[in-house]
Amino acid sequence: MWRRFSSLILPLALLALAACAAEEKVTPAPGTPMAETRPAWEQEWERVLAAAKQEGKLTILGPVGTPAREGLAEPFQKKYGISVELLGMSSAEAATKLQTERTAGQYLWDIMVHGTSPGVLLTAQGLYDPIKPALVLPEVKEPKNWVDGRLEFADSAETYNLAFLDVPALMLVYNKNLVAPDELKSYRDLLNPKWKGKIAANDPKIAGVGQSAFTFFYAKYGEDFVRDLAKQELALSRDVRQVIEWVAQGRTAISIGNNVDFVKEFLGQGTPIAVIDTLEGKGFVSVGWGSLFLINRAPHPNAAKLYINWLLSKEGQTELAKSQGYASRRVDIPNKDWTAAELLPDLRFWNAYTEEGIEVREKLLPLLRDVLGQ
């Protein structure tokens, strides 16, 4: 009996080995769970892409101008065949529009790309979704691809307001026929009586680069500096192009807090203007309009998710930064190839777009209304 049992062991063992080998050679049918060996993010990306194409449209509240459309809308639309509706307006107008529509029960927009002010105004009202859960592509989430080894959020919770551009301010523009460069060695030189009635500024009482410039002055030099500057009989305008035009025409000698796009326009026309980006090593950096918000209850949620990942990808940031001449916060693209030296972020001194900067601004606003009127 023992012999009979022993004689069965070897055949049974061989059969077991053959069965294992046959099992290893089995190729699972396509679509079965065993066949899904790709990374989870690839599967999610394909799902989002298919759903976005089915939605077929994306709506963006963004900045004004053809350059913005060229960077924010056209490359995405061309790559994915998804129609992009981009409505350009100021950040304050965009915030008001979104609030008004929500009050009326309208949900028309997927994405906002603008300055950071709408984030502070609207986050507390629950108009945005968190951005991080929408990030799918590993290259977007990889910290080493970004300045300071992290995604930059303007909100302290690092949730709703993602900054992807760094734009050092063009603090002063001056007319070379009216101002010698050595006459402006410090921002305090703006208080020289000779400049009384000869300084223009973007109205600092409203959100924008003029307000950011005065917030910087207030943070670094205090209330007395702002009061003394207001006594210089500033020429104020809410038209960001106009203040530079005044300097180019010689109607004023200097302008404070200047829109980068319009400065480049006038420089390209050969007008007698020059730029001072920082004095005494001091200046501030903003995001320009390079701040991203994911609007909740979006009409095209998958297209919005697809867009966010594309915009923050190496390809998307290259397309955007190159078309705008700004420096992306991604470090794996050649910002220096298209960004003027005065617009590279290594010149920054003070970050104007964080919640800390906005808190300083809120303290400044009553003072501005007092010294400049309503």
For 191-237, how does the pLDDT look when each residue is reduced to its tens digit (9 = 90+)?
999 999 999 999 999 877 888 899 999 998 999 999 999 999 999 99
Q: Reply yes or no on whether the pLDDT at 292 is more than 80.
A: yes
How far is Cα 253 from Cα 247, in angstroms, rounded to an integer?
6
How far is Cα 154 from Cα 176, in angstroms, rounded to an integer?
36
How far is Cα 86 from Cα 66, in angstroms, rounded to an integer?
11
Confidence of residue 34 (pLDDT cuts 50, 70, 90): very low
**Contacts by residues 279-283 (CB-CB < 8 Å, ≥ 24 positions apart):** 279/171, 279/172, 279/184, 279/185, 279/186, 279/187, 280/185, 280/186, 280/187, 281/349, 282/187, 282/216, 282/220, 282/349, 282/350, 283/168, 283/169, 283/171, 283/216, 283/347, 283/348, 283/349, 283/350
Where does 40-166+287-343 sit in CATH, by number? Answer: 3.40.190.10
CB burial of residue 255 (10 Å; 0-12, 13-18, 19+): buried
- pLDDT at residue number 305: 98
- pLDDT at residue number 69: 79
Tokens of 156: 């302290």
* For residues 238-246, average pLDDT: 94
CA quadruple 265, 268, 271, 275: dihedral sign: positive
| 243 residue type, one letter | V
- pLDDT at residue number 119: 64
* For residues 302-316, average pLDDT: 97
| 78 residue type, one letter | K
Q: What is the helix (H) or strand (E) element at residue 285, kind and residue range?
A: strand 284-286
Q: Do domains 40-166+287-343 and 170-282+358-372 have the same CATH topology?
A: yes
Tokens of 89: 């307006």
Domain boundaries, the chain: 40-166+287-343, 170-282+358-372
Query: Is 112 in a helix, a strand, or coil?
Result: strand
- pLDDT at residue number 16: 46
Q: Which of 94-98, 107-111, 191-195 has the lowest mean pLDDT?
A: 94-98
- Pairing between strand 162-163 and 152-153? antiparallel
The average confidence (pLDDT) of the chain is 86
* For residues 255-283, average pLDDT: 88
Q: Reply yes or no on whether the pLDDT at 65 is more than 80.
A: no
How far is Cα 118 from Cα 14, in angstroms, rounded to an integer?
72
Where does 170-282+358-372 sit in CATH, by number? Answer: 3.40.190.10
Cβ atoms 308, 131 nearer than 8 A = yes
Q: Reply yes or no on whether the pLDDT at 25 is more than 60.
A: no
Cβ atoms 183, 189 nearer than 8 A = yes
For 10-20, how does the pLDDT look when each residue is reduced to its tens digit (9 = 90+)?
444 444 444 44
